[in-house]
Amino acid sequence: MGSKKDDIYANRMDKIADFAFDRNVADVFDDMLHRSIPGYDAVIHQVGAFAARYVQPNTNIYDLGCSLGAATFAVRNSVDAAGCVIIPVDLSEDMIGRFERRLQRHKGVLTVQPRCMDISELPIENASLVVMNFTLQFIDTGLKDRIVQNIFNGLRPLGALILSEKIVFEDAAMQQFIEQSYFDFKRYNGYNDLEISQKRDALENVLKLETTQAHVERLKRVGFSTVACWYQNLNFASFIAVKAPASND
């Protein structure tokens, strides 16, 4: 995919600002994601495979928190259903700007209509697939129910939500074990201890992480009939939630 090496936290900082999706992050984002999310490529690949299964003709597909558009491109490479539109959404102008430049070079049948806006304000309608990869984790906990309910309401029967998140564990020993293993993963990928600890501090107030159980309960609570965790690698998990078929009564 080609982006610069992520060395944002390589030099010691006097004060660590909250993590933001600004130009510096957008410049190194491919490298950052690949070295920071275990199983990232596997998740993106599977988004394409699920898209081939769940996208219905003449519907909308949403990529919420699209960043540089990895999920959008995976869907576009896998689907040629007639009359579909992909709507990638991100609040960061720097991300959307880079994504749009990539989109110009990408060949695919489906129309893509990027939007730079807050997903909590987004109308969702006539959707057969919604992808929300590693984005809900940045939303205030009080807003999450409303966002996920809005997705459910905007999906057609048999439509699906793919949700990927960094997760936490209820059990303190398990949380510590997985977190240490995650730092080992980052070290293996070339981040040093200073980078790991400064990035963790930058994310401390920004990430609103929840357990697998909390995610599954929310998905069921808003109305999804089928909910499964289909992938987990250390403290990163992906879920699929499917809306029931239309009833005949």
Is residue 204 close enough to count as binding ligand GEK by CB under 6 A? no
Judged by CB under 6 A, which of 55, 71, 222, 234 binds ligand GEK? 71
Is residue 125 close enough to count as binding ligand GEK by CB under 6 A? no
- Name the minimum Å distance from CB 182 to ligand GEK: 13
Which of 41, 7, 30, 70 shows the shortest CA–CA distance to 236? Answer: 41
Judged by CB under 6 A, which of 51, 110, 112, 119 binds ligand GEK? 119
Report how many residues bind ligand GEK under the rule CB under 6 A: 20
Is residue 118 close enough to count as binding ligand GEK by CB under 6 A? yes
Q: What is the residue-wise DSSP string for the chain?
A: -------TTSS--SS-PPP---HHHHHHHHHHHHHHSTTHHHHHHHHHHHHHHH--TT-EEEEET-TTTHHHHHHHHH---TT-EEEEEES-HHHHHHHHHHHHH---SSEE--EES-GGG----SEEEEEEES-GGGS-HHHHHHHHHHHHHHEEEEEEEEEEEEB--SSHHHHHHHHHHHHHHHHHTT--HHHHHHHHHHHTTT---B-HHHHHHHHHHHT-SEEEEEEEETTEEEEEEEPPPPP--
Judged by CB under 6 A, which of 135, 150, 198, 238 binds ligand GEK? 135
Our CA angle for 60, 63, 66, nearest 5°, is: 150
The Cα–Cα gap between 21 and 12 comes to 20
List the x/- string, 29-48, binding to ligand GEK by CB under 6 A: ----x---------------
Is residue 203 close enough to count as binding ligand GEK by CB under 6 A? no
Is residue 189 close enough to count as binding ligand GEK by CB under 6 A? no
Judged by CB under 6 A, which of 65, 114, 154, 159 binds ligand GEK? 65
Judged by CB under 6 A, which of 128, 133, 150, 198 binds ligand GEK? 133
- Name the minimum Å distance from CB 238 to ligand GEK: 10
- Name the minimum Å distance from CB 8 to ligand GEK: 12
Q: Nearer Cβ to ligand GEK, position 138 or 183?
A: 138
Segment interacting with ligand GEK (CB under 6 A) among 10-18, 53-61, 89-97, 185-193: 89-97
Written as six digits, the tokens of 144 are 């999450």
Count the neighbouring beta carbons within 10 Å of the beta carbon of residue 116. Answer: 16
- Name the minimum Å distance from CB 19 to ligand GEK: 8
Judged by CB under 6 A, which of 84, 95, 219, 234 binds ligand GEK? 95
Written as six digits, the tokens of 241 are 């939630």
Q: Which residues bind ligand GEK (CB under 6 A)?
A: 21, 33, 65-67, 70-71, 89-92, 95, 118-120, 133-135, 138-139
